[in-house]
Structure 1
Amino acid sequence: MKFSGFTCLLFFCSYQLTFLLPCNANQIDNLNRLIKTRRFKTNRSPHSLSFAVSDVEDHEFSSPVCVAPQDGLKEADKIDTLPGQPKLNPGEEFNQYAGYVRVDHVAGRALFYYFVESPQNSSTKPLVLWLNGGPGCSSFGYGAMEELGPFRVNSDGKTLFRNDHAWNNVANVLFLESPAGVGFSYSNNKSDYENVGDKRTAEDSYKFLVNWLERFPEYRDRDFFITGESYAGHYAPQLARTILSKNNSTKKTKINLKGIAIGNPWIDENDGTLGEYDYLWTHDLNSDETHAGIHKNCDFASGNKSETCIIYMNKSEDEIGDIDPYNIYAPKCDMSSGTKVSETPVNSFDPCSDKYVEAYLNLAEVRAALHAKPTNWTFCSDVGWIDAPITILPGIKRLIASGIRLWMYSGDTDANVPGTSTRYSIKRLKLPIKKPWRPWNSDGEVGGYVIGYRGLTFATVRGAGHLVPSYQPRRALTLISSFLQGKPPPAFPAKPR
């Protein structure tokens, strides 16, 4: 039993699920809301690498980290089987767990997790944390149930089918719903949903990890990687910086952080905005006139925007039409199409998957199997976001200097957080190129393109939208396998001359 700074309170108090604020938004809506509320302001702080990121990365916690007793909780969190789970073949079986970890015993904040071990050699494989963005969206609903988890939900909303390209083929994967108020995570204090942001999200995620590792002590010294997508462009670097800072204290649990990998990351608002509009024009989604008007009237270097700039940006929004900007070539959800449950293939992502997952996770028997408290589960929650730095680039620069592995990757059909934006941000880091741009190989096809800089690798995933593992699960697994092994994604054999 460990205690840090003060006696942990309320160990055995019953969990209460109150003040949850579900809404009908999804990951697209939440990020768009954050982007647009700031994009269409006419004045913005100066844009440079010296911009104060936030004290999230190096601050001392307002209260000591409490490592609570975890005896018996691992066994209590084990899932026998999920409702509607398909029968697994010999060698495919794996352990899965779900439950809560308290991160604030006074306020009653508890974060929900879902953990799947690898079917083969789990004791030697690394531990990977997955974080979805939003901000305010579920890593379990998106990451586990639609992207890289072991199962996906059939169109009946009651049964599951196997994801052959799940990431637990190569790692033990931990999905965290953060902050409190997202998914099944909750607080007993209503103000926790109104006053949350980057700083407390990093703080609570760190507290979660320290306590989770006490519950699963066999993973304390395991190689640890942080992965995620979208607004995890904030979450992952900030959590990584927090871990590295806390690891410097010999009195704290040391987390064996080896690297981070972020997909279609939202890391810099001005680069993100410029990159989006340039992507739209280069993919024939807005007009020459609109593109020229944006470049003439919008000052993306400073973040300041004239009224004329905003008129052209609004015009671009109108010109796109009714398509999914997170995958510009994907069909829209059509519930009248009558997809048959037995014909749901993992390599053909169903655009109505959100509806199936939400129905499944609101089944009473599913909540019981997950050891989750009764609530109206939604993908994203209307939590109030009070701090979000304009840029994370200074923190990324410090992570590069720390020597940990750092990858960014982009599905190339995502228009809202495109690879164009990421490349603009990487360019401003002024990193020397170590391995030039080249295609990478996935089952004999071009899986995407990759370039290696000093301290950072950037890769694209061909044919993938914002949720890369949803649209290209095989290629995503190839990419993450290379990342975990610390080597570039596979090259094509040299052509005979």
Structure 2
Amino acid sequence: MTKRSNISFFFLVVTLLFLLHGSHGSRRPRRQGHVLIKSLLDSRKPRMPVPPVADEKSTLAATAFDPSKFSPQDGLKKGDRIKALPGQPAGGVDFRQYGGYVTVDGKSGRALFYYFVEAVGPNPASKPLLLWLNGGPGCSSLGFGALEELGPFRVMSDGRTLFRNPYAWNAVANVLFLESPAGTGYSYSNTTSDYSRCSDARSAEDALVFLLNWMERFPEYKRRDFYIAGESYAGHFVTQLARCVCRHNLQQQPPNNINLKGVLMGNAVLNADTDNRGMYDYYWNHALISDDAIAGIRKFCNFSVPDLGSSESPGCNDALGQADETFRDPLDLYDIYAPICHSERVTALPKTASVDDFDPCTDYYVEAYLNLAEVQAALHANVTKLHYPWQGCSDQVGWDDKPRTVLPLIRELMQHGIRIMVYSGDVDGVIPVTSTRYSINMLKLPVKTPWQSWSCRGELGGYSIVYQGGLTLATVRGAGHEVPSYQPRRALVLLTSFLNGEPLPRPVKA
């Protein structure tokens, strides 16, 4: 086996094991990490270098939108109101919910699907607006974010019945879930070539066009405090969109600007070099790979070049080959201590479910639910009758650009006064806390508050460090890649503190 084929084989094995343990042989990606691993593999192929941040001229041009991308929104809000979702708990809910499409490019017929839940309680107007984006790229914010993580409902094992999430984020915010880019979930384009030409830049532009049109449809949110949140590859989506919003605001005056206050990113892809290096260090620190393997990786593998330097480093190939042996056994790298799903079938009757005990087969329940005709009708989704079923992660979204870092964007956002929180589940092996710490350290920011523990209702919630300039790095104890799935209560405490501009709660001394 050649050097290059050996390294490709390693990543192929890892990818296949991800797919097999999550879908029992399904050929398409099912979870964010599946797509992310494929993305990381693609990024290691030799290619022309991609600038980490678009230059000033091209970025400013991206904010000069074609007027055809804006359309009248009068009366559309009423039609998007969801009376009730099939299978939702009896007795109704204490919030309004909406679903529908916003056209972001009339010429190509590109439209993005959204699901929106107002904050619970009698006065949602007193609470901010939060936009949630899942990663992949190409993974659904409706299927993952809304129905597996931070939304008001979870899906039971029969694939038809919903139960309430007592730690839903609409307890403290009005939450908007966006399926982006086109080709993800129910979002679509009438120009099929759009699916193969997705990119960070176009996704950010489409999301900004979506926001501006959506705020015309929901004008009461135009001057509301606004936050952008997401996880995994959404480390790119969140920072790119936030930068577009800031650039847009420089050209607008109130009330036409967007009142962006902060961004939150969970287990986020931030910087390719440190993401990869931190992943292997994490595996070693958790006894998943041997001392010999990590020593060889640290000595011979150069993660700062697209092909890991494999063409010149047989030592790197040997070390990665040793690491490869670890992943031949079933292992959920989204949560290295979690059980894996053993059946993709829904059940005739719903099993007893608990938000506090995440079911590893939830992906299958959500997929069954979102492919029900009555559910799509209630959501006002799939209006064009797509030729493929709803999928958690799209297998048709192609990506044109993968900047190797978004750290310069974080610096720029801080210069605009945007508060930032980067949080990480401490048992995630896809983008582990080690990677996140390495990436943030690259910014070389002065420390305001050193590492200290934070509390969640009297329990250890994790650890945090606060940097000067408005950036916080926090860990969430016992959480995997999708933090609100594995630790929903701690995730809500984290969010609440951030929205209130308060430090994470400190443990009470005995």
TM-score by length of 2: 0.88
Letter in 2 for 1:305: G
1:283 counterpart (286, 302, 309): 286
Q: 1:422 aligns with which of 432, 436, 439?
A: 436
Q: How does 1:392-403 map to 2 (within 5 A)?
A: 392-403=406-417
What is the rounded CA distance, in whole Å, between the counterparts of 1:72 and 1:337 in structure 2?
Answer: 41
Output the amino acid matched with 1:226. I
For 1:209-242, what per-residue CA distance to the aligned partner results, in whole angstroms no more than 9, with x for missing partners? 0000000000000000000000011000100000
Question: Which residue matches 1:261?
Answer: 264
* Structure 1 residue 152: Cα displacement: 0.4
- 1:271 aligned to which of 269, 274, 293: 274
Identity of aligned residues (%): 54
Output the CA distance in 2 between the equivalents of 1:338 and 1:407.
Answer: 37
Aligned partner of 1:149: which letter?
G
Aligned partners of 1:201 and 1:235 also within 8 Å: yes
Deviation at 1:328, TM superposition (A): 0.5
CA distance in 1 between partners of 2:509 and 2:61 (Å): 50
SS in structure 2 opposite 1:254? coil
Correspondence for 1:359: 368
The TM-score, its normalising length taken from structure 1, stands at 0.90
Give the distance between the partners of 2:427 and 2:201, measured in 1 at CA: 31
8 Å CA contact retained: 1:263, 1:468: yes
Partner of residue 295, structure 1: 298
Aligned AA for 1:266?
Answer: V
Deviation at 1:63, TM superposition (A): 4.2
Secondary structure at the residue paired with 2:84? coil
Find the counterpart in structure 1 of residue 492 from structure 2. 477
Q: Structure 1: how far apart are the matches of 2:233 and 2:344?
A: 32
Per the TM alignment, residue 45 of structure 1 is displaced from its structure 2 partner at its CA by: 5.3
Of residues 306, 309, 315, the one that matches 1:305 is 309
Asked if the contact 2:30/2:392 (under 8 Å) is kept, the reply is yes
Equivalent of residue 173 in structure 2, options 171, 174, 185? 171
Structure 1 pair 280–113 and aligned structure 2 pair: CA distance change class (3 A): same
Query: What is the CA deviation profile of residues 93-125 of structure 1, one whole-angstrom value per residue up to 9, with x for unaligned ones?
Result: 110000000000110000000000011220110
RMSD over equivalenced CA pairs, Å: 2.0
From 138, 142, 145, give the equivalent of 1:143.
145
Q: Does 1:100 align with 2:101?
A: yes
- SS class of match (1:357): helix
Q: Secondary structure at the match of 2:228?
A: strand
Q: Deviations over 1:144-189 (max 9, x none)?
A: 0000000000000011000000000000000000000000000000
Match of 1:443 in 2: 457
Partner of 1:315: 322
CA contact (8 A) 2:97 2:118 kept: yes
Counterparts of 2:70 and 2:220, CA distance in 1: 16
Is the CA contact 1:155–1:341 (under 8 Å) kept in the aligned structure 2? Answer: yes
List alignment gaps of at least 5 residues for structure 2: 1-26
Is the deviation greater in 66-75 or in 160-169? 66-75
> How many residues get paired?
467
Report what 2:186 is aligned to. 184
Listed as ranges, the matches of 1:62-461 within 5 Å are: 63-65=65-67, 66-88=69-91, 93-120=94-121, 121-250=123-252, 253-301=256-304, 304-306=308-310, 307-308=313-314, 309-320=316-327, 321-335=329-343, 341-373=350-382, 374-375=385-386, 376-381=389-394, 382-454=396-468, 455-461=470-476
What secondary structure does 1:343 align onto?
coil
Report deviation, 1:44.
8.5
Shift of 1:318: 3.0
Partner SS, residue 434 of structure 1: strand
Task: Give the residue type in structure 2 aligned to 1:285.
Answer: L
Q: 2 CA distance for matches of 1:438 and 1:408?
A: 15
Give me the whole-angstrom Cα distance separating, in 2, the residues matched to 1:314 and 1:424. Answer: 24
Between Structure 1 and Structure 2, the one with more helix by share is 2
